[in-house]
């Protein structure tokens, strides 16, 4: 195909320019042109020049990271019949549902007559020319031990399990087996988070080329209502900077929590809970701060677990009380613990009116939010707390709490973090942190 068809010019071209170009193509080129990724991709979606070993793509949601990774793999597979490619996802389910069978996955792109066959029982893709790709879970790093590959695509590496060093072990086992062919390379695509593996790659010790991008780079291919909603709901927030703008939000020096500490405490599924508590930090007004509503539990192993963040923004007392009641029913909570500094009797009344018919404990805070978080942070340091899933806004607030009472996180107040602290204090510290407690 002609050189102009390889310059990624179509996204910025007018209809007249595209029409004139197509009219000049030969019949064979017209058949192939719709499937030529180098024509349609944005420049940031094409592999960089140079002698890199790892191409790290840090970009916001909707940037086109999955399509980028899949097209890179397709290009390798179609041009190198002896290619043996590792496809590593956070789990086998994600590797299959996103990297292989997703809307931008390997079975959905490229010319239909050159697409691979997926042998699900073997976790293998086979292209017509003989190239092969194999599916792996980063949660099972031992599966990558001994396997050999010429190339690899690692998706959402910031989601890989950091607990028990699994993410690092999966990455190291992959690299040790990347010894086939004359130029083994890895593409790692992810929404940025300051997890140990991402920080290691950014340290620049592994011949890493970095591409950055944001959700809005791909606005032409995303619904206008989605773009509008993302700007309205998350514009300017730490969550928006990370998930949309693709910024790496790093730790605040000296904070009680670090992102690495939280990542080390993350797990995919929780053990059975023997007790569940909901912590509530009520807002002072319907137009002020959020109402922090965080569900925590503890099991027979005496490990505290953060189970859900049900916090609600700019809600009337009736609305946030209903959210607390719904969370209590959904999680079969044993107790609700609510801060009562701002109108204790009002808090009691609205929760009762919402139907939260379970033991309610109103607690009166004598110290600032950050100060009373210190004993709970010590529980994390001791490995006694886990996060079952990811709670981006709550975790941003935790990572902004400083010793001595200062808060440097997003927003005016760490409402979610405070609710979490109340719940974990009730479950694991009894009355040590806040001795002045009112019982219902």
Q: For 319-326, what is the mean pLDDT?
A: 90
- Give yes or no: residues 416 and 307 share one domain: yes
Residues 213 and 356 in one domain: no
**pLDDT for position 410:** 80
Residue 24 lies in a domain: no
304 and 185 belong to one structural domain: no
Considering the domain architecture, whether residues 130 and 201 belong to the same structural domain is answered as yes
Write the pLDDT tens digit of every residue in 174-215. Answer: 999 999 999 999 999 999 888 889 999 998 777 999 999 999
Q: What confidence score (pLDDT) does residue 2 get?
A: 44
CA angle 409, 415, 417 (to 5 degrees): 70
Rounded to whole angstroms, the Cα distance separating 437 from 422 reads 12
Q: Could you tell me the two tokens for 440?
A: 């219902």
- The 10s digit of each residue's pLDDT in 239-293 is 788 888 888 877 888 899 988 888 888 887 777 899 999 999 988 765 667 899 9
| Residue where a domain stops, chosen among 219, 234, 249 | 234
The pLDDT of residue 327 is: 93
What is the spatial distance between Cα 419 and Cα 246, in angstroms, rounded to a whole number?
28
Quote helix, strand, coil % in the chain, to nearest 5. Answer: 40, 20, 40
- Residue 51, domain CATH: 3.40.50.300
Is residue 33's pLDDT more than 90? no
Non-local CB neighbours of 306 within 8 Å, separated by 6+ positions: 294, 295, 296, 385, 386, 387, 388, 391, 394, 420, 424
pLDDT band, residue 307 (cuts 50/70/90) = very high
Number of domains, the chain: 2
- Checking if the pLDDT of 348 tops 80, the result is no
CB atoms within 10 A of CB 108: 14
Which residue has 């009680």 as its token pair? 256
One domain, residues 226 and 276: no
In this structure, the answer to whether residues 345 and 410 fall within a common structural domain is yes
At 39 the three-state DSSP class reads helix
User: Considering only 49-63, 127-141, 348-362, 364-378, which range has the smallest mean pLDDT?
Assistant: 348-362
Answer yes or no: is 10 within a domain: no
* Model pLDDT, residue 5: 46
- Region for residue 181 given its phi and psi (left: phi exceeds 0; alpha: psi -120 to 50; beta: otherwise): left
In whole angstroms, give the CA distance from residue 53 to residue 182.
Answer: 12
Query: Which pLDDT belongs to residue 375?
Result: 93
Domain that includes residue 168, residue range? 41-234
Arithmetic mean of pLDDT, 349-378 = 77
- Whether residue 407 is contained in a domain is answered as yes
How many other C-beta atoms lie within 10 A of the C-beta of residue 228? 10
Q: Residue 278's beta-bridge partner residues? A: 295, 336
CB 187 within 8 A of CB 76: no
Tens of pLDDT, residue by residue over 109-140, are 999 999 999 999 999 999 999 999 999 999 99
CATH number at residue 405: 3.30.420.280
What is the rounded average pLDDT of the residues 70-97? 97
Sign of CA pseudo-dihedral 361, 366, 368, 372: negative
The verdict on 272 and 230 lying in the same domain is no
Classify residue 248: in a domain, yes or no.
no
**Distance separating alpha carbons of residues 361 and 359, to the nearest angstrom:** 7
Listing DSSP states for 340-400 in one string gives -TTTHHHHHHHHHHTT--S-EEEE---S-HHHHTHHHHHHHHTT-EEEES--HHHHHHHTT
């Amino acid at each position: 195909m002609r050189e102009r068809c390889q310059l990624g010019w179509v996204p910025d071209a007018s209809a007249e320019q595209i029409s004139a170009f197509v009219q000049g193509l030969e019949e064979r080129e017209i058949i192939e042109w719709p499937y030529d990724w180098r024509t349609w991709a944005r420049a940031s979606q094409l592999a960089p020049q140079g002698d890199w070993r790892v191409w790290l793509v840090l970009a916001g949601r909707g940037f086109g990271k999955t399509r980028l990774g899949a097209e890179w793999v397709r290009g390798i597979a179609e041009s190198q019949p002896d290619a043996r490619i590792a496809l590593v996802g956070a789990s086998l389910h994600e590797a299959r549902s996103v990297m292989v069978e997703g809307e931008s996955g390997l079975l959905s792109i490229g010319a239909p007559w050159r697409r691979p066959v997926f042998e699900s029982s073997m976790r293998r893709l086979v292209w017509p020319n003989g190239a092969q790709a194999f599916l792996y879970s980063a949660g099972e790093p031992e599966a990558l031990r001994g396997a050999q590959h010429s190339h690899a695509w690692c998706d959402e590496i910031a989601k890989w399990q950091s607990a028990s060093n699994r993410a690092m072990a999966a990455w190291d086992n992959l690299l040790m087996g990347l010894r086939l062919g004359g130029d083994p390379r890895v593409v790692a695509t992810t929404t940025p988070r300051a997890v140990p593996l991402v920080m290691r790659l950014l340290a620049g010790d592994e011949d890493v080329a970095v591409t950055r991008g944001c959700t809005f780079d791909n606005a032409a291919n995303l619904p206008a209502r989605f773009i509008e909603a993302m700007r309205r709901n998350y514009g300017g927030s730490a969550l928006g900077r990370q998930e949309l703008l693709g910024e790496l939000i790093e730790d605040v020096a000296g904070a009680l929590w670090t992102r690495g500490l939280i990542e080390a405490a993350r797990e995919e599924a929780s053990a059975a809970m023997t007790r569940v508590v909901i912590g509530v930090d009520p807002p002072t007004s319907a137009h002020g701060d959020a109402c922090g509503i965080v569900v925590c539990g503890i099991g027979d192993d005496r490990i505290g677990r953060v189970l859900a963040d049900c916090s609600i923004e700019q809600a009337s007392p009736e609305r946030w009380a209903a959210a607390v009641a719904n969370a209590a029913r959904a999680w079969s909570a044993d107790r609700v613990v609510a801060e009562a500094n701002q109108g204790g009797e009002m808090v009691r009344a609205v929760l009762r009116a919402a139907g939260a018919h379970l033991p309610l404990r109103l607690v009166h805070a004598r110290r600032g939010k950050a100060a009373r978080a210190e004993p709970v942070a010590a529980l994390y340091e001791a490995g006694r707390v886990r996060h079952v899933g990811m709670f981006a806004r709550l975790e941003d607030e935790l990572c902004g709490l400083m010793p001595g009472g200062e808060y440097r996180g997003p927003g005016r107040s760490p409402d979610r973090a405070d609710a979490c602290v109340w719940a974990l204090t009730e479950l694991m510290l009894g009355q040590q942190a806040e001795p002045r407690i009112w019982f219902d």
